[in-house]
Amino acid sequence: MKLTIIGTGYVGLVTGTCFAEVGHQVVCVDNDPAKIELLQNGGIPIYEPGLEDLVRKNVSAGRLSFSSSTGDGVEKSDVIFIAVPTPPQADGSVDLSFIEKVARDIAGAMTSYKIVVDKSTVPVKTGDKVTETIKRYCKAKVEFDVVSNPEFLREGFAVEDLMHPDRVVIGVRSQRPVPAMREVYDPFMAPIIITDINSAELIKHASNSFLALKISYINAISVICEAAGANVQEVANGMGMDERIGRRFLDASLGFGGSCFPKDLSAFIKIAEQIGYDFRLLKEVQRINSEQMDRFFKKIVETLWVLKDKRIGVLGLAFKQNTDDVRMSPAIELCHRLQKEGAHLRVHDPKAMEKAKSLLQDVTYVEDMNDVADGCDALVIATEWDEFKKLDLELARKRLTHPILFDGRNLFDAQEMERLGFIYKSIGR
């Protein structure tokens, strides 16, 4: 198939690359000429495991190319995917102006039948608006179909999620685009479900909100565990063995972040409000999430008492492991809170230090995780990077002025940490 992806962010770039990997002919378009130039010269604007090699391989095979012209992309392909950002607005709703602009640009460039697929996360009924917009701005008056095809990839595991999806959701108004959409996705050998457009759009918001709810649920349980002297990991393991519940997304933490869950929750609450439903359940999910951060911060203050002029080492800046993305990162929020109280920070992240620099200033960025503890009053784990489990704990204990470790991601075994001589405070244990 000849495919065009408009928007080369996390979703667009990984989707386009994986489409090329299974044999499609793909053009990735972005209106940022610097980004396109970087990609054309073999560079990658984001860190995502496995992506760089895959891009290189498919560019040299002639299946993947980059362009800054939407018109060029529309002309070359039969199916055009929209994968542009839908950023949050102050009132919780999302800004759909990028989607609207791309719909107009596509409409202006269409000279024959096209399938226009929305992959960006959008409020229900956006498909209708895209259809109206294309109709209005398409001078050639050619036929087209709008399809909703939400993406479920996780950052840090994006290539794996895309190559092996649990399901592919295709929302359509008529059957006409279905065979082409099947042809796009058949190589991925995943179950394909065909729905109406509104349902497809809702599947995305409902799924993300449910996953956020799952995390807030286990975080609420972690509070009870602490008060009752139980261990949240054992509770999660026991719950997770019930197949109806499942163990994934039951890791208690200092809260979820990133560019998806916080934004999608607010958007879904707003959409529900507009439709006339007060989604109090999801408001509670948000409240539990922000309280989880408050509680973790309080633990630090209660242990260290005055933070002014204390040196604190922070491991992790990305919003989760395997990514350099720091948008809405709980780790960055924690750093800001510590700084506000006058603490001096030594920080490290395996991949996110460069991107963190614009959000987090007046800290010491440390290249080696084992040097972070140097002269610090305490160490904090803020992101669940696997490599932090390999921290040289003996060395850290020696380098800390006091052997105190706050673990916001439950990476270590509490008994082992005590045996090593640490005052160790984690979540729900």
Q: Which is nearer to ligand UGA, 110 or 285 (CB)?
A: 285
Q: Which is nearer to ligand UGA, 105 or 151 (CB)?
A: 151
Among 135-143, 166-174, 244-252, 386-394, the segment contacting ligand UGA (CB under 6 A): 244-252
The reply on whether position 380 binds ligand UGA by CB under 6 A is no
Closest distance of CB 302 from ligand UGA, Å: 22
Closest distance of CB 110 from ligand UGA, Å: 28
Q: Which is nearer to ligand UGA, 104 or 299 (CB)?
A: 299
Q: Locate tokens 């996780």: which residue?
A: 154
Contacts 24+ apart (CB under 8 A), 97-105: 98/7, 99/126, 99/130, 100/129, 100/133, 102/6, 102/7, 102/70, 103/130, 103/133, 103/134, 103/137, 104/133, 104/137, 105/70, 105/71, 105/74
- Length of the chain as a residue count: 429
CA atoms within 13 A on the CB side of 231: 9
Output the six-digit token pair for 334.
């924690």
- Give yes or no for a contact between 324 and 351, defined as CB atoms under 8 angstroms apart: yes
Question: Residue from 257, 313, 403, 408 that binds ligand UGA (CB under 6 A)?
Answer: 257
Question: Residue from 177, 258, 316, 403 that binds ligand UGA (CB under 6 A)?
Answer: 258
Tell me, what amino acid is at 137?
Answer: Y
Q: Which is nearer to ligand UGA, 76 or 204 (CB)?
A: 204
- Give yes or no for a contact between 288 and 216, defined as CB atoms under 8 angstroms apart: yes
The reply on whether position 220 binds ligand UGA by CB under 6 A is no
The reply on whether position 426 binds ligand UGA by CB under 6 A is no
Among 48-56, 81-89, 246-254, 295-303, the segment contacting ligand UGA (CB under 6 A): 246-254
Closest distance of CB 383 from ligand UGA, Å: 7
The reply on whether position 120 binds ligand UGA by CB under 6 A is no
The reply on whether position 295 binds ligand UGA by CB under 6 A is no
* Neighbouring-strand partners of residue 40: none
Contact partners, residue 267, CB within 8 Å, separation at least 6: 88, 92, 93, 94, 121, 123, 205
In the complex, the residues that contact ligand UGA under the rule CB under 6 A are 121, 151-155, 208, 211, 215, 249-251, 253, 256-258, 260-261, 319-320, 384
